[in-house]
Amino acid sequence: MKKIVAIYPGSFDPVTNGHLDLIQRGSKLFDELIVAIARNPDKGSALFELEERKEMLRAMTANWPNVTIDSFEGLLVTYVVSKNANVVLRGIRAVSDYEFELQMALMNRKLDQRVETIFMLPAEKYSYLSSRIVREIAYFGGPLTGFVPELVEQRLREKVSSKQASVPVLQSK
């Protein structure tokens, strides 16, 4: 049978429990799952450096042997093909995600017919969670338990106290 390699792309700034829920679900479904952090010039300055985001993701997915962490620059479809992958995995939390995700999936398919997008739903308890909201809560010193793993919470606290007023909490998803 054909091996299914899926790419789960995103900013992961930082990884949340919602992302991890989706990674776990995806790791059960696909033979290989590559979590790919995008260096997206449109996103402005991210809170965490690419290497920091990678390190957190690696630590949090270490127990899933078919999950690897990588990064990419440029078009997602080019990266997908370069990895001999067949599928892009994206999470849809609520109807509000759907419009953007539909546009992206259809555009990716237009750019390269070989690329299929599969949507999965994270657990309902994560349906209101996003990296942007997590950054904002961290910025204002609010509680993060249940939203991100302990390691990520620690990194967020360190980052916020080192950056203070200049943290770009409101940019991107």
Annotated catalytic residue within 27, 53, 54, 131? 131
Q: Determine if 38 is a binding residue for ligand PNS (CB under 6 A).
A: yes
In the block, tokens 């909490």 appear at 169
Task: Give the nearest distance from C-beta 43 to ligand PNS in angstroms.
Answer: 7
| Terminal-to-terminal C-alpha distance of the chain | 37
Question: Of 130, 1, 6, 142, nearest to 66 (Cα)?
Answer: 6
Give the one residue of 44, 51, 62, 75 binding ligand PNS; rule: CB under 6 A.
75
**Six token digits for residue 77:** 């479809």
**Six token digits for residue 78:** 């080019």
- Of residues 79 through 118, those in contact with ligand PNS by CB under 6 A are 104, 107-108
> Using an 8 Å Cβ cutoff, are 60 and 24 in contact?
no
Euclidean distance between CA atoms 106 and 103, whole angstroms: 5
Binding part of the chain for ligand PNS, among 3-11, 47-55, 61-69, 133-141 by CB under 6 A, reads 3-11
Q: Determine if 16 is a binding residue for ligand PNS (CB under 6 A).
A: no
Binding part of the chain for ligand PNS, among 5-13, 55-63, 116-124, 150-158 by CB under 6 A, reads 5-13
Give the residue with the Cβ less far from ligand PNS, 114 or 173: 173
Contacts of 24 (CB under 8 A, 6+ apart): 64
The count of C-alpha atoms lying within 13 angstroms of the C-alpha of 58, restricted to the half-sphere facing its C-beta, is 9
Q: Determine if 40 is a binding residue for ligand PNS (CB under 6 A).
A: yes
Is residue 131 flagged as an active site residue?
yes
Contacts of 39 (CB under 8 A, 6+ apart): 50, 71, 72, 73
Give the residue with the Cβ less far from ligand PNS, 11 or 86: 11
Is residue 19 flagged as an active site residue?
yes
Residues found near ligand PNS in the complex (CB under 6 A): 9-11, 38, 40, 75-76, 104, 107-108, 172-173
Catalytically active residues, by annotation? 19, 43, 93, 131
